[in-house]
Amino acid sequence: MLAGEYNNLLVLFSLLVAILASYTGLDMAGRIATAHGRAGYWWLAGGACAMGTGIWSMHFVGMLAFSLPIPLGYDLSLTALSLLIAIASSAFALWLVGQNELPVSRLFGGAVLMGAGVSAMHYTGMAAMRMTPGIQYVPALFALSIVIAILASAAALWIAFRLRRHSPLVRPIRAGAAVVMGVAIVAMHYTGMAAAEFPIGSVCGAVQNGVSTGWMALVIIVVTLAILAIALVISVFDLRLETRTATLAMSLAEANQELTYLALHDALTKLPNRVLLEDRLDRAAQDADREQGRFAVMFMDLDGFKAINDAYGHHVGDSLLVDVAERIRANVRTRDTIARVGGDEFVLLADVGEPADAATLAGKVLSAIREPFHMGGRELRVSTSIGIAMYPGDGLSPNDLLINADAAMYHAKALGRDSYCFFEASMNANVHEQLQLVQDLRAAVERHELVLQYQPKFAAPVGPVIGVEALVRWAHPTRGMIAPDEFIPLAEKTGLIVPIGEWVLDEACRQMSVWRNAGREDWTMAVNLSALQFRHVSLIQTVRDTLERHALAPHCLLLEVTESTAMHDVDASLRILEELHDLGVRISIDDFGTGYSSLLYLKRLPASELKIDRGFIRELARDTEDAAIVSAIVALGQTLNLIIVAEGVETLAQQEFLTRLGCDSLQGFLLGRPMSADHLMETISRDEAFPALAQLEPLRLEPAQPV
């Protein structure tokens, strides 16, 4: 037998290549398992090529490391065939571990097939030497080499299958496994080589190729290493990309979650909003039906919130709402739902069985909110009005429950606020009545059902008349005369106030021009503007057009704007008032003393008149505090050069006291009620004809003191 020799360096290289090829194979198995769609096939094809080339090159370098005392060569087509076998076996192995499961039977079958493949590659490679006489194989070692190939394949498949998913330690474990596999492959190869015996006188039939084995080995090693390295680099980059995609997908999911949260919650208080509330109400109703239970829906509206918002700004208003929400939350159980359904409106869905329990809970919430709030060094006080509807008695659908609780809340407000009220069927009638009223009001202007009455204003103390205030009434076809307090708020809520206001202005100006032509040139006509009218874009144009239409001098018109309207969004108010002022129209600040005017703004307002709210005048007799307020307002007005008007003068004592304080004009039932234009003219000409009538009760003017 010829004695073979090994080049140790090349043997070492063959081991290195085997390990690297194993690592690449394991890595590819992981990529195939996690790739989606067609990418999986590409990884399979690329991985099979890289791994197959690796294993084959290990084998071929091992062959090149071997030398006999005779010249050796390798047949090209058989060598290529052995490479193809290596790639095919690798493809099969990678496909196998890419499957979702790997039962023992499949593992075993796969190992046999793959072991056979690797052996076939090896012995085909040996055959490429085309030895004559043929190589003799020692049967035991030959069998052992095949057993090793199968066992190594089984281990490789099993390890690759276990390692295919990403886990924190996957890289070091994979490296260790690659070493084990590499050694196994090398062991198979050299066992196979040991099985081969070359009889003396053997000739290598493929020797004419005559390539220097050393150079060939180097080229193969470099090319193989390059292929394996490229495969690994691509794999690592792709993994990064995949990780990034996964991260992106995760943040997208988070963003979606956030959006859902926002859609169901109020941004300010983080409480559920109306949408979520209705869903909870639906569920509560289902639960209650199943367990024959009951629950309460409480509609809460803060009293006095608007005033705080107007006075201190939205910033303070917002923090107050957050604190209020917190106090409500602190007083209910976690399974109850509190939702914010409007500016200062909250709804509590409370799991209580008895109305008495609902009442207790409502009382608790009322007293919690009644406590002062401390905000930026200020002490703020608000209260709540609560309307309670019980399921199932007061409504079956979330909508009905909310409407009824809302109606009950309005009753609580009407009862004097800071209280709760249970829903009663009669309250609903009110809602329908209001709806009917809105419909009627819509048609009222066209049907000429609105009428104006005029209340005279007198120079203090007894006249003469210096002007009138136009006050609207609604002559309803079936309900009779309706007072403005009953329909102006409704008109304001529905926007109907705009056409109504235009009609009032037009009619008042028409009447005024009639009076002017009749010689009342020094009168002014006062017209009230509601908040919505005041802010309406077409206000200035409407006023200008109306004055023109009736050929009326602007200074004859006095527009009354309430203090709270003027002080809400002061800058915008100032702009509007200035434009009106520029038109030549005069401005009166109505209901003065009820809002939160800052002196600074008051000074900047281009107003010519302050009307002290009639609430102060009414209380004058009983309350010395009100007397102090009135005298302060008068002093303030005088400093600011404003005409001071007292409205709601009903008694001689009030007339006397207000005059003494320095009010310039008086208005009230004592001196003249609101009446029709004709009636007013009749009364005035009678008084003028018999001036003595007005003197019947002469005023005794004495030093002013609280009355």
648 binds ligand C2E per the rule CB under 6 A: yes
398 binds ligand C2E per the rule CB under 6 A: no
Structure tokens at 275: 């949408």
456 binds ligand C2E per the rule CB under 6 A: no
653 binds ligand C2E per the rule CB under 6 A: no
CB of 483 to ligand C2E, least distance (A): 5
63 binds ligand C2E per the rule CB under 6 A: no
Give the helix ranges, DSSP H, for 128-212: 139-162, 170-195
484 binds ligand C2E per the rule CB under 6 A: yes
From the list 9-17, 55-63, 377-385, 647-655, the region that binds ligand C2E by CB under 6 A is 647-655
Size of the site for Ca ion (CB under 5 A): 4
CA angle 219, 223, 228 (to 5 degrees): 150
* Spatial contact of 655 and 445, defined as CB atoms under 8 Å apart: no
Angle between helix axes 39-65 and 8-34 (nearest 10 degrees) is: 170
CB of 341 to Ca ion, least distance (A): 32
* Spatial contact of 114 and 91, defined as CB atoms under 8 Å apart: no
Interaction mask 589-608, ligand C2E, x per CB under 6 A? -xx-----------------
Q: Which is nearer to ligand C2E, 184 or 587 (CB)?
A: 587
3-class DSSP state of 333? coil
Structure tokens at 339: 């939702």
Q: Residue 477: is the preceding peptide bond cis (ω within 30°)? A: no
504 binds ligand C2E per the rule CB under 6 A: yes
609 binds Ca ion per the rule CB under 5 A: no
- The residue within the footprint of ligand C2E, chosen from 253, 268, 483, 628 (CB under 6 A), is 483
| Residue 472 site contact among Ca ion, ligand C2E, none (CB < 5 to 8 Å, cut-off depends on kind) | ligand C2E
The pairing of strands 196-197 and 557-562 is unpaired
488 binds ligand C2E per the rule CB under 6 A: yes
For residue 59, give the H/E element and its range: helix 39-65
From the list 208-216, 292-300, 425-433, 522-530, the region that binds ligand C2E by CB under 6 A is 522-530
* Spatial contact of 660 and 701, defined as CB atoms under 8 Å apart: yes
Q: Residue 168: is the preceding peptide bond cis (ω within 30°)? A: no
Q: Which is nearer to Ca ion, 27 or 560 (CB)?
A: 560
337 binds ligand C2E per the rule CB under 6 A: no
668 binds ligand C2E per the rule CB under 6 A: yes
Structure tokens at 621: 């007799």
449 binds ligand C2E per the rule CB under 6 A: no
Name residues contacting ligand C2E, limited to 555-594 (CB under 6 A). 560, 590-591
619 binds ligand C2E per the rule CB under 6 A: no
Tell the residue number behind the tokens 């000409």, with chain if given: 685
Give the helix ranges, DSSP H, for 292-354: 305-312, 314-330
- The residue within the footprint of ligand C2E, chosen from 62, 110, 182, 674 (CB under 6 A), is 674
CB of 549 to Ca ion, least distance (A): 23
Chain Cα centroid distance, residue 126? 73
Q: Which is nearer to Ca ion, 303 or 560 (CB)?
A: 560
* Spatial contact of 461 and 664, defined as CB atoms under 8 Å apart: no
455 binds ligand C2E per the rule CB under 6 A: yes
From the list 93-101, 359-367, 457-465, 642-650, the region that binds ligand C2E by CB under 6 A is 642-650
For residue 385, give the H/E element and its range: strand 383-391
Tell me the residue ranges of DSSP E strands in 74-155. 131-132, 136-137
528 binds Ca ion per the rule CB under 5 A: yes
Q: Burial code of 599-628, b = ≥16 C-beta within 10 A, e = fewer?
A: eeebeebebbbbbbbbebbbebbeeeebbe
Q: CA-to-CA distance for 471 and 484, rounded, in angstroms? A: 8
Size of the site for ligand C2E (CB under 6 A): 23
CB of 414 to ligand C2E, least distance (A): 17
Nearest Cα to Cα of residue 440 among 486, 402, 405, 406 = 486
- The residue within the footprint of Ca ion, chosen from 344, 406, 507, 560 (CB under 5 A), is 560
Residues that bind ligand C2E (CB under 6 A): 455, 471-472, 483-485, 488, 501, 504, 528-530, 560, 590-591, 614, 647-650, 668-669, 674
Residues that bind Ca ion (CB under 5 A): 528, 560, 590-591
